[in-house]
Structure 1
């Protein structure tokens, strides 16, 4: 059985789409999944990447694209009332349900649906209180979204993701390999099925490819 770490941030619509698509994409395979919340903003900042929301026309295209993808894949997806937003309260609420930085599928799905179904404000105080109530049986004793424990877990998980080469979400790590994005799921399946392409130079050779652009001073 292969173990997959699914890195996600609830602010990402692609994370929601990938979360819903994963069981079907890997149907019939033997695997386990640890859902690992990370701070997408820190991953982007590490590489000076403004993200889709930082480029005005790309922001509009991204929202248009994910709405269509939800329609095409049969996943309910409505843009929240405001986006982007600060995901820290949601990340910490999820991690209040964890001892080691990983959350179960129920917790991940509950928070993702809170954001991506209904078109509501993800940070509305009343809705955050309702979310905490929905997760009450999962929350570790003495923890909540404002406790030091979830904050430390988020920091550690994000730093571990950066060290593993994760630069965005959703990302799937298995056997030291990182697969990025919703559209990487067929590639991930091929790896889990033992596709011999992964035994050749195709995976590693690209990292040695020289750039044709001048070095930044």
Structure 2
């Protein structure tokens, strides 16, 4: 009988602490690289010109205290915005397409560190499966994940991004072995998705995690844990 998989969840929730992960069996939380968590007190404006003294005030205004209607409006506005964005690297990176190469390099360094730490022989010789959350057009999958994982499932709520990913990740458009493939494409929001139990070795969550309200962020991590 095989050993049950305990997926590693990799995410970048806050830009000031870098990627972090949860090892589901222990529930231990670490930051990589290690930096102290700090309260974000910087004020700013939203796209409607409203002023907020900090992120907490903005979240209270946008989603209230667990108000289902306000939450629905928040997530719906996000989907509507991205539906108007072109399905290109520059589009999904908000006009900062030039950060793609350094982002992939830093992500690969991080992934190699985690694989070496968590799996014998860094996972070589093992059939590895990952979930790419907020996959967009498959930017991270095509440039990084599919080289390390035999199967990559993509989760993306914006339909034209996901359709672009299907094209970008078709076998004829990939420079990888036939043992590596994009397996499943889920057009579902992250806050509504429950990963299949024991399917994933790694769950990759990048910038999209910042769209989630705190309770939905925590709830997703709990759903992704091995029971």
Larger relative contact order (Cα-Cα within 8 Å, sequence gap ≥ 6): 1
TM-score normalised to the size of structure 1? 0.26
Higher helix share: 1
Q: Which has the higher strand share?
A: 2
